[in-house]
Chains A and B, each alone.
Chain A
């Protein structure tokens, strides 16, 4: 599991070492290489020392040695070049039958990654998605798929709160839309007040968790609104479309701005405004009469990019807007690719693609272009990648 997590981080090339029942890995994204030993890997020498020249000869930059000592698991990260221990992580893992076991191991992998390269990983994350009108969660490595919505109504558009403990989604029935907030795990759900009288959809949390932005379709068209979910009050209308629709809001991570879709140029394109609705302007450039409809924006957690999909020659492709330079680049070209959602490292995106013949969830690493399927099931759509899901873990430097 740890080996796969490090592999899926796309920051290492995993080297499999011969011998024993151990799993060994190493990596090459540029100079970095890593090697990891499996639990109770046979090894010459005592804990804390390693045959560094051997690992160096294999081209490894790091080696991860995981051993179980009673109910505590020790993960020792060796710096091969420095011929010493970079860090020892001491973790009390739950039993493998415990529902939190996998997440605990994922968190350990993330800590190891942080120790190696100083950047936290994305192993301890989950993705919400919709299938057959229900919301499911799945670990980022494709394990532990679980139903999380409880209603018979059709669910759409799940969205994470930045604390990772709540999500919002829309329930759709008889042409009307209700917004709900739901606790992860417990499943307790609360209706967002004032919704359901119209068609309310595409909820998005502000980073501080106080505000929910959403789209509301009425006789006047569709516009972006916000509501204070802390006090359940203060409905505000941020756009007044009249002859155009405005929808699909997404907050910048500093909470200052909202990117959204507007049809004011005649077909949907990506716009941006201040979080109070002022200063509305075009965000992702397009060629009038040439560029296709653009939809489903999501602001990256590092604030530097906005992912969205755009109609290219009659099918949809995933694009990324560079917020600073306001330039766009196309990420996909095979099949239909839509509804991108950022991993917390702002480097990976999950999206829906029919490249394998049916619509399922895929993950792309923007730096290497590596693409892997997340889910081998038809009909999955509208994914939402969680923030890092932290639980108390102990580590020693």
Chain B
């Protein structure tokens, strides 16, 4: 019986070692055979690795999702920026005239489409003149020019309350210079966003 008790003692020793290998878990199963303990250890090691792998997979996926989102956001931002630029493109006028030139109607049609695709969007139109006309009369002419563009947008279905107008006369030239190339650029309407300009949608 003495040898049996020794075996038992050895067995206990193995159990203690196994318990220690379990990562400090105070193993309650003192009576578990040594072979079973080793298998259990292996299972635990396997499950830890699996959990780690799963966690890594999830992290990868999250990163991928974020990257995709970033890309999408950037694309939307680019689109919004494009829309914004289209909206801001100026129209021009002949000397002392306030009628919309036929070559500017397409530019205004694009603005109509943008305003229709973005119902929250509100804009302000600023009318400008060149330095050739009379200083004070140009305030009235700039007002006419802003009104002409507004009239065009309204007649194409845009609610008038979404469009403000301003006249700048000849007080804010875009280009300095005293020749026709400067004057023709200064006779213009500018368009700016006053509200609802975030995440603009393409028409």
Contacts and interface: CB of A to CB of B under 8 A. Distances in A.
B152 interface: no
A222 interface: yes
A175 B126 CA distance: 8
The binding surface of chain B is classed by DSSP as mixed
B135 A199 contact: no
B136 A156 contact: yes
Contacts of B165: 219
A217 B165 CA distance: 10
A156 B165 CA distance: 20
Interface residues of A, number: 34
The binding surface of chain A is classed by DSSP as strand
Given A175-B168, A176-B166, A293-B96, A217 B143 contact: yes
Interface in A236-256: 245, 247-248
A165 interface: no
B136 A172 contact: no
A245 B145 CA distance: 12
Contact of B137 (A247, A381, A382): A247
A217 B137 CA distance: 11
Contact of B147 (A156, A176, A219, A267): A219
B144 interface: yes
Interface in B133-190: 133-137, 139-141, 143-144, 147, 150, 165-169, 171
B134 A316 contact: yes
> Among the interface residues A175, A263, A267, A338, which one has the most CB atoms of the partner chain B within 10 A?
A175
A62 interface: no
B140 A215 contact: yes
A257 B61 CA distance: 82
A293 B166 contact: no
B171 A268 contact: no
A89 B134 CA distance: 45
B135 A217 contact: no
A202 B166 contact: no
B171 A154 contact: yes
A201 interface: yes
B137 A295 contact: yes
A157 interface: yes
Contact of A172 (B126, B141, B171): B171
Given A172-B171, A199-B167, A222-B143, A293 B126 contact: no
Interface of A: 154, 156-157, 172, 174-177, 199, 201-202, 215, 217-219, 221-222, 245, 247-248, 261, 263, 267-268, 293, 295-296, 309, 314, 316, 338-339, 381-382
6 contacts: A175-B166, A201-B139, A202-B136, A222-B140, A248-B137, A295-B137
- Sorted nearest first, the 3 A-B pairs with minimum C-beta distance are A175-B166, A295-B134, A217-B143
